[in-house]
Amino acid sequence: MDAFTTHTGIAVPLRRSNVDTDQIIPSEYLKRVTRSGFEDGLFAAWRRDPDFVLNLPGYAGASVLVAGPDFGTGSSREHAVWALQNYGFRAVVAPRFGDIFRANSGKSGLLAAQVDEKVVQALWDLVESDPGADVTVDLLERTVSAGTGIEAVHDSFDIDDYTRWRLLQGLDDVAVTLGHADHITAYESRRPAWKPATLPVRVAD
Amino acid sequence: MGRTLAEKVWDEHVVRSAEDEPDLLFIDLHLVHEVTSPQAFDGLRQASRPVRRPDLTIATEDHNIPTVDVDQPIADPVSRTQVETLRRNCEEFGVRLHPLGDVDQGIVHIIGPQLGLTQPGMTVVCGDSHTSTHGAFGALAFGIGTSEVEHVLATQTLTQARPRTMAVTVEGDLPAGVSAKDLVLTLIAQVGTGGGQGYVVEYRGEAIRSMSMEARMTICNMSIEWGAKAGLIAPDETTFAYLQGRPHAPQDQDWDAAVRHWRSLITDDDAQFDHEVVLHAQDVAPFVTWGTNPGQGVPLSSSVPFPEDFADANERVSATRALEYMDLQAGTPMRDIGVDTVFVGSCTNGRIEDLRTVADIVRGRRVADSTRMLVVPGSARVRLEAEAEGLDVVFKDAGAEWRGAGCSMCLGMNPDTLAVGERCASTSNRNFEGRQGKGGRTHLVSPQVAASTAVLGHLAAPADLPTPASV
């Protein structure tokens, strides 16, 4: 995973709440066995509409998505995160995230920045009146900022300390945990013997 | 101070805890399927890591597979590749697999309990959000993404921040003809799709205690639909009776030791939940969704709501969009909504009890001419059990299609999809735009409502049905 410190890029206003992962990437696009190539599936149903915000030329090359509350609810498909990344997004800014989507983002290096609803509203207004405007998400400072003068937005975002640390370091989670292998082995040795195992296979009578 | 059930299960699985870090939790059972695992196995291969505990891992094929001609090669080449990739990965890494055609194949959340692998007090994970189903046994069970699937394969653990706890207490008894599905849809409409975010929820109270394991699984299954991390129910005699004698249930002295431990898995009287919700079961009625998220529902006796009646601005916008997508007019009585397709199945309502319920309603009746009905058992064994009871004949005599086991039209990854504009009453768990097929429109319903709707061709409950000519 690449480390994330700060990112500045064009922001897209997605004025929708409850954007579930079936909207981010419909199930028909989940059949690939790689982590790449999912950009075609991103918002596939909505992108068929030429007026959908991602299709507007002013937001071409966008890398920050600004969405309404409860972004990424529903299915656990990490393909939703990969689709956003494959398309070019580095960060999603929203007032609330689905738990599994947020966890998946942290594991894959997509920044899920949780902000107050009024910040999203201000960002929407700003990038709608000035399509192509840059937004900066700074993970070191935990801030999101955009614009200048009276319309400028500068506020903090929430992210848990551990995910922030991992993103800043770009750490391989599995390697970190395998560093605690002795703890795992010790736990395994004290598990009750009656706990079930899948092997050897037992069959119904 | 006492501890909640969820806290007890959590504490029993902490491998390592350190200040300012999430806990490292041991995972007792890892369920794997074809869609969310290929990249995880690839990650292991790239790092030359083995599966740490193949003996705590089990795989099946469910999301992609067809429900007809299951003895033929899978027609869709991309689906076939994904399924074949799972088979190769399981072979290479020594993971037990129940492939299409195997007697223990089925939806991953149906086969775990069926095999007796899901037991009280366990931690259960799967790359699927409906893993919360297993909470019905008093297990801490939750869905994970592919990176975490790889983490569990490699380490048999997960790093997890301790969640907050919530109690949902359902007092009294459900009225006759009202099911667990109606109850959970009522709950979600009340608390909203984000109402459970960050919580592990314990369902308790008289109505829950008197439910079968199948009904409890329906409730816990839908926990994710209101954002909860997991949902669980304290184990009791109903749980033990369901488990005893299943292939992987403990035997002999092990059974006694296990039951002794399981009896301790209850929330202590002086334990504190971070949040509590109380529902009155007698107020629950047949409940259906009108919109495009599981929280957009009303009693069947009610009408499509007016968006302007919602207090919250986001909900107003969301309702307006939903009515447009669903092609519904505010004020239309729910019972007047005609339905093209009825889908019975999924990890929510694809168990034997659900099929019996549906069969009891359609027996001696016919599916309406304007409607097609698919009955998809949740597992190959549920299918065999239903056939042994003659339920397949009841469905076929009524004009329904009797299919092979899998996720099927719940998410339409296989050929079982809705056409653009097609309207479906579905016993599944999600009514998202396009969930059951591009442009398809979904109403979430209970098995009772699904069966009655199939007969009448519009949303309906058993009480709406005329007496059949012959039974």
User: What three-state secondary structure class fits B431?
Assistant: coil
DSSP symbol at A20: B
**Interface check B321 vs A, CB under 8 A:** yes
Give dist(CA B407, CA B110) in Å, integer: 10
Task: Please tell me the predicted confidence (pLDDT) of residue B415.
Answer: 94
CB contact under 8 A, A196 and B249: yes
Give dist(CA B469, CA B364) in Å, integer: 7
Element (H, E) at B423: strand B423-426
Q: CA torsion angle for B178, B184, B188, B190 (degrees, to 10)?
A: 50
Both tokens assigned to B157:
């653990």
User: What three-state secondary structure class fits B253?
Assistant: helix
**Interface check B452 vs A, CB under 8 A:** no
Q: Which of residues 369-428 of B touch A (CB under 8 A)?
A: 381, 411-413
CB contact under 8 A, B26 and A108: no
Residues near A95 by beta carbon (within 8 Å), at least 6 away in sequence:
A68, A69, A114, A115, A116, A117, A119, A120
**Interface check B316 vs A, CB under 8 A:** no
Task: Please tell me the predicted confidence (pLDDT) of residue B470.
Answer: 52
CB contact under 8 A, A99 and B197: yes
Task: Please tell me the predicted confidence (pLDDT) of residue A204.
Answer: 77
**Interface check B341 vs A, CB under 8 A:** no
* Percent of chain B clearing pLDDT 70 (strictly above): 99
Of B16, B147, B318, the CB nearest to A183: B16
Element (H, E) at B252: helix B252-263
Q: pLDDT of B148-192, one tens digit each?
A: 999 999 999 999 999 999 999 999 999 999 999 999 999 999 999
CB count, 10 Å around CB of B31?
A: 25
Residues of chain A with confidence (pLDDT) below 50: none
Write out chain B's pLDDT in tens, 471 residues.
Answer: 899 999 999 999 999 999 989 999 999 999 999 999 999 999 999 999 999 999 999 999 999 999 999 889 999 999 999 999 999 999 999 999 999 999 999 999 999 999 999 999 999 999 999 999 999 999 999 999 999 999 999 999 999 999 999 999 999 999 999 999 999 999 999 999 999 999 999 999 999 999 999 999 999 999 999 999 999 999 999 999 999 999 999 999 999 999 999 999 999 999 999 999 999 999 999 999 999 999 999 999 999 999 999 999 889 999 999 999 999 999 999 999 999 999 999 999 999 999 999 999 999 999 999 999 999 999 999 999 999 999 999 999 999 999 999 999 999 999 999 999 999 999 999 999 999 999 999 999 999 999 999 999 999 999 999 987 554
Both tokens assigned to A182:
């002795």
CB contact under 8 A, B26 and A35: no
Task: Please tell me the predicted confidence (pLDDT) of residue B471.
Answer: 47
Burial of B146 (0-12, 13-18, 19+ CB in 10 A): buried
| Nearest CA-CA distance, residue A98 and chain B, Å | 7
Task: Please tell me the predicted confidence (pLDDT) of residue B469.
Answer: 57
Give dist(CA A202, CA B449) in Å, integer: 37
Q: Do B314 and A14 contact (CB within 8 A), yes or no?
A: no
Of B28, B147, B438, the CB nearest to A108: B147
**Interface check B64 vs A, CB under 8 A:** yes
Inter-chain Cβ pairs, chain A and chain B, closer than 8 A: 214
B227 alpha-carbon distance from chain centroid? 14
Residues in chain B within 8 Å Cβ distance of A32: 78, 82
CB contact under 8 A, B145 and A184: no
Which ranges constitute the DSSP H helices of B23-140? Answer: 38-46, 77-93, 108-114
Q: Do B220 and B87 contact (CB within 8 A), yes or no?
A: no
Q: Do A142 and A156 contact (CB within 8 A), yes or no?
A: yes
- A200 preceded by a cis bond (ω within 30 of 0): yes
CB contact under 8 A, A198 and B96: yes
Place of tokens 């002795």: A182
Both tokens assigned to B45:
């291969």
Both tokens assigned to B5:
């059930």
What Cα–Cα distance (Å) separates residue B467 from each residue in B275, B305, B358? 45, 31, 15
Give dist(CA B265, CA B261) in Å, integer: 7
The interface predicted TM-score of the complex, written ipTM, equals 0.96
CB contact under 8 A, A197 and B143: no
A31 alpha-carbon distance from chain centroid? 20
Element (H, E) at B82: helix B77-93
CB contact under 8 A, B247 and A202: yes
Q: Do B49 and B97 contact (CB within 8 A), yes or no?
A: no
CB count, 10 Å around CB of B416?
A: 24
- Picking from A1, A19, A29, A33 by the largest number of B CB atoms within 10 A of its own CB, the best residue to mutate is A33
Q: What is the CA radius of gyration of chain B?
A: 22
Q: pLDDT of A3-53, one tens digit each?
A: 899 999 999 999 999 999 999 999 999 999 999 999 999 999 999 999 999
CB contact under 8 A, A74 and B81: no
CB contact under 8 A, B127 and A203: no
Number of alpha carbons in the 13 Å side-chain half-sphere of residue A35: 19
Give dist(CA B435, CA B81) in Å, integer: 22
Residues in chain B within 8 Å Cβ distance of A52: none
Strands (E), chain A: 6-14, 64-67, 91-94, 111-114, 134-138, 143-146, 153-156
**Interface check B56 vs A, CB under 8 A:** yes
CB count, 10 Å around CB of B40?
A: 25
CB contact under 8 A, A23 and B432: yes
